Structure formats: structure tokens, C-alpha cells
Amino acid sequence: MKSSRIKGLHNKSIEERRLLSLGDLDPEELGILNTGGLSNSKADTITENVIGIFALPLSVVPNFLINDEEYILPMVTEEPSIVAAASNAAKLCRDTGGFKVKPEASVTSCELLVSENITIVKEYIKSSVEFLKENLICENTDLVQSGGKVTDIHYMDLPNSSDIKYLKIRLDIITVDAMGANIVNSAGEKLGNILTANCDTTVHGAIVTNSFPQRTTSVSVNYSKKILENIFPGSVENFLRIYEWAKIDPSRAVTHNKGIINGISGVAMALGNDTRAIESGLHFRAASNGIYQPLSRWSVSGDFLHGEADFPLAVATVGGMTSHHPEVSLLKTKLRINNSETANMMAASAGLANNFSALFAIATSGIQHGHMKLHKRKFR
């Protein structure tokens, strides 16, 4: 497998970068990169009241070693220094094993709210769960053929906020390479109709949850303490202080997490994903123990500065814009992004890489040092 380590990519021309990262491109592919890939007429089918195309820079991020495989990441961002920061962080951990990533199965969930005849609803779900699992997505043959299935239907009493008692029902579905909002919403509404017909209840609403309770991608990385201390003496100790700050102070934690989201959303955006869904899931996870916390954890382990995180992630490679945007299709083919698992692994690694770079910069020469150098290029 060709190495993703590309020396001095930032000093090359755009044409050279294309060749080095994507390989040979035919005229049609070059046209897609030059124009952003989206025609007015195509854009008009994606959303409403379209009047044109809004362009952003598309970058590649070299140097990533993920589970011992070489990857060049696609990234769309408007902010200078995020691409450079991710690429430097990926370079610095190559000799210590790169990123180790474990994605969970692609489960997306729909939740339903009921308040009437709760006992009957619970009994019905308990006794009919196998029938429901078989029937809620059976007409979605493409999904079923590619391994999609309902894995569970369960319920929980919600805390009382008034005299009304609410029950939440959660439907978990393997949506394979799709984020799955449309799939689970359709199945949830179907379940709602079945419950209404069989339990003399009213289903008040059914909607996907962006908390992605069963779609966690775990990522970890080691940096050599010795190398970090050579770059900047005292850096590791201060890095850990800056991390501690995020643990004890939610208003620092939210900015710490913004640094992670810089990488995650940059990759997700390049792959045509709904970044708002991903970001809301990440903030939900950060606040899940009642106090907003940093999404990553950093510690010293032997000779290493060790970082890890468990991100709820549903970066898709099929469905929505991911299947309709010619530039996304080109990137998926050229950069070997064959499934949601790979996309999630890339996004999670970029998130931890950008987090490392931000904390290292804050803990040493200050964030403005590198950031402003790159920012000033705009005014040249």
C-alpha cells in the first residue's frame, strides 16, 4: 500500500497536490475539482430556493496511519491552520503506531413518544418484538440486502414533568453505510401506526435521535514524550494542564471540543454529510454525565502521551448528498472511502489529531503563532 506520508505537500502547486494525493485524473474529474462538481441544476434538486453554488476550499490531509493502513483524508474547512494542524499531528504519531480506531456497528435509532395506555404498549412491544423486527424495514430491499436490520425495540419511562406520564420507545436499526435518518424515521412512523392500531394509544411523535447511542467510534493515539519534549521543553506537563482545565471548566471544555469538531466536521463536510447531526451528537455525549466535559482524554502512559476518545459518529458514504455530489463520489473512489466505517475512522482520527495540535500549540508557543502565519496568506 502506498504511503500516505507526503513531504512538503503544502509547498506544491494545486496540480501537483492533486497528482500526489488522488493520482492521475481524467478531464472530467479535473473539471469536477475545478468547478466544485455541483451544477445549478443539480443544486436545485438538493434543497429549495437555490440561486447558485456556495464554494469552500477542498483540501487533502496526508500522513494518516489508521489501524496500520495508510490514508489521505479529504477536508473542507474555511479556517486556516486546521488542515496543517491535522497533517502535522498525523505525521508526529506515525512512528508510535498512528491512530487505533474501533467503530461500532452502524446503528441509528428512532424514538417515539406515547402517554396513553402505557402498560398495554409495553406488553404489546414485549410480545411482538420479533414480528416488529421482521416487518418494520422489510420493504427497503436495498438496505436489507446489504445487511440492514432492526436490532432492538425497547422502551423507557421518561421523568415526569407534569401530571402526564410519558413512555419513550427506541427502535435501533443497522443502517449500514447510511446515516439513516430517513430510514429510521420511516420505520419509526410505521411502528407508530402499528402501536396506534393495536394498543388504543396515540403516538405523539417519532424522530431519529442524533445522540447515536450505539454508533460510537473509539480512537486512541500515542505521542513520544521524548520527541514532544525535544520540540518544546516542558510541553507534556503543560499539555496535561490545558487538558485538566477543560475537565474542570465547561467553558474551556466547549472550546476544547470545538478543536476536535474542526477535524471531524472537516472530513464529514468533504464527504457531503450533515455536520449538524454529527455535532449535536458530540455535544450530547460531552454533556451526558450532567456537566459538559471534554470529549477526549489525555494521560501519560510510560514513554507516551496517550490520547483517546469515544465519539458518537454516523459519517455516511451513501444516502443524501453523499450519493449525489460528484466531488464526493470522486473523493470516495480516489481515497478508498468505501464505507461508513472508513469515513468514521477518518473523522475520529482527524478529531483527535486536531485536538492534539490545538492543545500542544496552546501549551507551548501559543495558538496565534502558527495560526496567524497561515491566516496572513489570505492577504498576500
The contact set with ligand MEV (CB under 6 A) reads: 79, 255-256, 258-259, 262, 358-359, 362, 367
| 95: annotated active-site residue | no
Q: Select 71 or 356, whichever has its Cβ closest to ligand MEV.
A: 356
Contact 83, 351 (CB under 8 A): no
Q: Select 258 or 297, whichever has its Cβ closest to ligand MEV.
A: 258
Closest CB 258 distance from ligand MEV, rounded Å = 5
Closest CB 80 distance from ligand MEV, rounded Å = 10
Cell of 67: 489501524
Catalytic residue, candidates 44, 68, 69, 79 = 79
**Rounded to an integer, what distance in angstroms lies between the CA atom of residue 10 and that of residue 14?**
9
Contact 199, 146 (CB under 8 A): no
Catalytic residue, candidates 177, 274, 327, 341 = 274
Closest CB 129 distance from ligand MEV, rounded Å = 44
| 327: annotated active-site residue | no
Q: Select 82 or 132, whichever has its Cβ closest to ligand MEV.
A: 82
Give the number of other CB atoms < 10 A from CB of residue 238.
15
| 325: annotated active-site residue | no
How far is the CA of 283 from the CAs of 218, 260, 280, 294, 341, in angstroms? 16, 11, 5, 9, 21
Q: By C-alpha distance, which of 144, 89, 73, 126 is closest to 342?
A: 73
Catalytic residue, candidates 258, 283, 306, 324 = 258
Q: Select 38 or 358, whichever has its Cβ closest to ligand MEV.
A: 358
**Rounded to an integer, what distance in angstroms lies between the CA atom of residue 247 and that of residue 258?**
14
**Rounded to an integer, what distance in angstroms lies between the CA atom of residue 188 and that of residue 192?**
6
How big is the chain, counted in residues?
Answer: 380
Q: Which residue is nearest to ligand MEV (CB)?
A: 259
Closest CB 239 distance from ligand MEV, rounded Å = 11
Q: Select 107 or 367, whichever has its Cβ closest to ligand MEV.
A: 367
Give the number of other CB atoms < 10 A from CB of residue 173.
30
Closest CB 357 distance from ligand MEV, rounded Å = 8
- Find cell 454529527 and name the residue: 278
Q: Which amino acid is at 76?
A: V
Query: Which residues participate in catalysis according to the annotation?
Result: 79, 258, 274, 371
